[in-house]
Amino acid sequence: MSSPQFSTGLLLRPDLPMCQTEFPLDWYQEEFKPYAEEFQALPDRLPGTVFKWLDSYVTPALDHFGDSLLLLAHFYMGGEIVKLVERYGGSVSDSYALSLKAREAPEKKVIVESAVHFMAESIALLAHDDQDVWITNPKAGCTMEMLAKDYMVLPVFDQLEERFGDDLLVISYMNTSGRIKAIAGRTGGAVCTSSNAHLVVKWARKKGKKILFVPDQHLGRNTAAKLGMDLNKLHLLPDPQSGAIHLDSREMDRIADSEMILWGSSCGVHTIFSGDMVRWWQERGWTTLIHPESPLDAVTAADGAGSTDFLWKAVQNAKPGSKLAIGTEGHFVRNAAELGKQNNVEVVHIADLPHDAVDSKGKPFASAGCGCATMSRNDPPHLAGILDLLRKGEAPEINKVYAGDSIDEITMRRERLAASEREELIQYARLSMERMIEIVNAG
């Protein structure tokens, strides 16, 4: 496994105010409140002011840890964390590339991640034994993954396994906990990313297995469409928000007739897109690119669909004068628009339509592009705070991430596995990731 290495190419301009949602003080962990108080008391949000404050904490930590420290962030981070992490020598990438960063750099012993919990856990899953992984804010959860926790999926999986036995195989999207990835590994299944889901599903179909695709229903459906599968052979499970799922005999019979079972989770940031939005931009000469966590009609209408890595590279490589309307997370598109400006490429968010724009039925579009609010809970006070607390040996234990951790991002209640259980989980979860690599390498 190896991860792509590149810089985002984003510049930190001293005159541009930093865009950061500010949270109420009582929302911070006790240990982080002093940093939040200081940040909120700064006279402005201009980089010159914010850097000076951040440097006072980050520089001593960089000096203290030297080469053993690795800072990581995901492309969807808001509040300029993407640029800040790069400024301090860190690395920004998509969730798959992030998961490999610690493994590829054994000299890094302290890994600090600014993104959501499952991403930090994926890093821990592949990390070496002497590497510690920390998340700047344990309240940062992926809502898609939060609706596919092991205690939600396992009871359904058990019912399906009882009925279909070895004929059932689980494909687990990267946006799952290690516990779900381990189920995939145990059933002979594999992990997939948004860029290789079609290869993994194709591989599973060749085995003649019934597939349980967890957690994103849209990626599952888009993948089936891309492979030319009969969409009537997809079975969508009940909405996980509606409570515990019990499959009665009638539903089981329908599942028996299906080829792929879709877990009913989705990403609120990506479900807002529609075919009408895509066509609105196309009719005005824009090239439309979209993430496959979006609904099928939007993905089908778009000129291209692919992962965050695909979308970022499309902007980096666009010819001057290009006009790109992109359908994905809002902070990403904002950063992509900044990048585009450096090369005379215009970038807009597909959902950011003029207020008088209407859909094909003459109705106004009801949404605007939004960012991943939960991921952006990792703000500058959290970055400054965790690095300072780590340097002082006072970082809260709840911010440390182990493979197999199950965390409730709302209550911060965490369930940690015993070492022997963790070992077993790591074996199965790694197996599911290694299968993905083999499938991708085999083309």
- Part in contact with ligand SF4 (CB under 6 A); list of ranges 30-38, 138-146, 164-172, 415-423: 138-146
CA angle, 116 then 117 then 118, to 5°:
100
Q: Report, in Å, the least distance between residue 150 CB and ligand SF4.
A: 17
Q: Which residues, 44 to 83, sit near ligand SF4 by CB under 6 A?
A: 76
Q: Name beta bridge partners: 364.
A: 358
Q: Which residues, 193 to 232, sit near ligand SF4 by CB under 6 A?
A: none
Q: Name beta bridge partners: 326.
A: 289, 349
- Part in contact with ligand SF4 (CB under 6 A); list of ranges 186-194, 316-324, 355-363, 370-378: 370-378
Q: Report, in Å, the least distance between residue 245 CB and ligand SF4.
A: 21
Asked whether position 269 contacts ligand SF4 by CB under 6 A, the answer is: yes
Handedness of CA 402, 408, 410, 411 (dihedral sign): negative
Q: Among 110, 211, 375, 407, which residue sits at the site for ligand SF4 (rule: CB under 6 A)?
A: 375
Residue 92 token pair: 């920004």
Handedness of CA 346, 347, 349, 350 (dihedral sign): positive
d(CA 10, CA 116): 22
Give the DSSP letter string of 390-411.
Answer: HHTT---GGGEE-TT-EEETTT
- Part in contact with ligand SF4 (CB under 6 A); list of ranges 6-14, 39-47, 141-149, 416-424: 141-149
Q: How many angstroms separate the Cα of 296 from the Cα of each of 126, 224, 267, 288, 360? A: 33, 10, 13, 14, 17
Q: Among 135, 144, 212, 247, which residue sits at the site for ligand SF4 (rule: CB under 6 A)?
A: 144
Helices (H), 42-116: 47-65, 81-87, 95-104
Residue 150 identity: D
Q: Among 99, 122, 137, 143, which residue sits at the site for ligand SF4 (rule: CB under 6 A)?
A: 143
Q: Among 93, 114, 136, 175, which residue sits at the site for ligand SF4 (rule: CB under 6 A)?
A: 175
Q: Which CB atom, from 133 or from 390, has the smaller least distance to ligand SF4?
A: 133
Asked whether position 267 contacts ligand SF4 by CB under 6 A, the answer is: yes
Asked whether position 329 contacts ligand SF4 by CB under 6 A, the answer is: yes
Asked whether position 142 contacts ligand SF4 by CB under 6 A, the answer is: yes
Residue 373 identity: A
d(CA 230, CA 247): 23
Asked whether position 147 contacts ligand SF4 by CB under 6 A, the answer is: no
Does residue 235 sit in helix, strand or coil? strand
The binding track of 88-117 with respect to ligand SF4, each residue x by CB under 6 A or -, is ----------------------------x-
Q: Which CB atom, from 172 or from 175, has the smaller least distance to ligand SF4?
A: 175
**Tell me, what DSSP letter sits at residue 365?**
P
d(CA 63, CA 72): 17
Q: Are 287 and 323 in contact (CB under 8 A)?
A: yes
Q: Report, in Å, the least distance between residue 430 CB and ligand SF4.
A: 22
- Part in contact with ligand SF4 (CB under 6 A); list of ranges 1-9, 129-137, 371-379, 413-421: 371-379
Q: Report, in Å, the least distance between residue 73 CB and ligand SF4.
A: 12
Q: What are the residues binding ligand SF4 (CB under 6 A)?
A: 76, 116, 142-144, 175, 267, 269, 293, 329, 372, 374-375
